[in-house]
Structure 1
Amino acid sequence: MVAMNFQKILIPVLAVVGMVAAYRFYGWIGAAAAGSGLVMWGLLHFTRMMQVLKRAANRPIGYMESAVMLNAKLKTGMTLLHVIAMTRSLGERLSNKLEQPEVFRWSDHSDSNVTCTFVSGKLAHYELSRPEQAAD
């Protein structure tokens, strides 16, 4: 959680420092180039987010092909957007809206599911649960 707050402060500070440095060394042309680079960076992130959400919108909520494969690919610290991109589905929300931590679940056709807990948008914990196998 501390790293997330650090990023919220560090990125805008670096952007301002980059703009000031570009202006100081190259004048208005440098500031315009640095500003264009920042706008392009923002547009690339926005376009990626829209593509991920567009793919997820066409799928059932909380469904994916293989919960076991998702569990194998997950790592703590991943963002919610990255997990949605991997599953190509929005997760089924188990927590209340605007409440931290956020808990989502993805299930597959065999009733196996992965429950993911996100704190400030980053994956903090995940757990795979599989249905009981009948004894032969």
Structure 2
Amino acid sequence: MNWRKIFIPLGIVVLVIAAYRAYGPQGILTVSGGLVMWGLLHYTRLMNVMQKARHSPVGYVGSAVMLNAKLKPGVNLMHVVAMTRALGEQLSAEGQEPEVYRWTDGTQSHVTCEFVGGRLARWELVRPAPRQDATPASGS
């Protein structure tokens, strides 16, 4: 169960009631203004992330190895999109849990991320095997 869906609205209600008891109608206006500002900050961040992501191909990242090093369990999809500056290539069916996305770099290395409940649960870095057909340069 996602406790955030319960505790955040409950916390807002408690905050509004406490503000009303302490400052009357002026307290409700102050708390409401703060909540609107909080919502606008999140909306602005989302729009900035999406504007940066629109310039990159879907599923592309500059370095899959660096992305793998930066990932941490529990971060949300928007945070990963902000790190990669690109939307991930969706591998799972739409609306299906867990959501699986992949980011690939120029060397065909890729990171496959699995999101459960909107949070990063696990990820895997896959690097292609080095090609054996290249002949070493001989010193003469």
TM-score, L = length of structure 1: 0.95
Name stretches of at least 5 consecutive residues in structure 1 with no aligned partner: none
What is the deviation of 1:54?
1.2
Residue aligning to 1:90: 87
Give me the whole-angstrom Cα distance separating, in 2, the residues matched to 1:103 and 1:96.
Answer: 9
Q: Deviations over 1:98-134 (max 9, x none)?
A: 0000000000000000000000110001000000112
| Aligned match for 1:62, one of 35, 54, 59 | 59
Residue aligning to 2:75: 78
Q: Structure 1 segments of 4 or more deviating over 2 A?
A: none
Query: SS at 2:24's partner residue?
Result: helix
Residue aligning to 1:131: 128
Amino acid in the other structure paired with 1:102: E
Say whether residues 1:107 and 2:104 are aligned partners. yes
Residue aligning to 1:121: 118
Structure 2 counterparts to residues 30-49 of structure 1, below 5 A: 30-49=27-46
Give me the whole-angstrom Cα distance separating, in 2, the residues matched to 1:8 and 1:58.
Answer: 33
Give me the whole-angstrom Cα distance separating, in 2, the residues matched to 1:124 and 1:11.
Answer: 22
Q: Deviations over 1:65-102 (max 9, x none)?
A: 00000000001101000000000000000000000000
Amino acid in the other structure paired with 1:79: N
Name stretches of at least 5 consecutive residues in structure 2 with no aligned partner: 136-140
Give me the whole-angstrom Cα distance separating, in 2, the residues matched to 1:60 and 1:134.
Answer: 26
Residue aligning to 1:51: 48
Give me the whole-angstrom Cα distance separating, in 1, the residues matched to 2:61 and 2:80.
Answer: 11
Flag the structure with higher helix content: 1
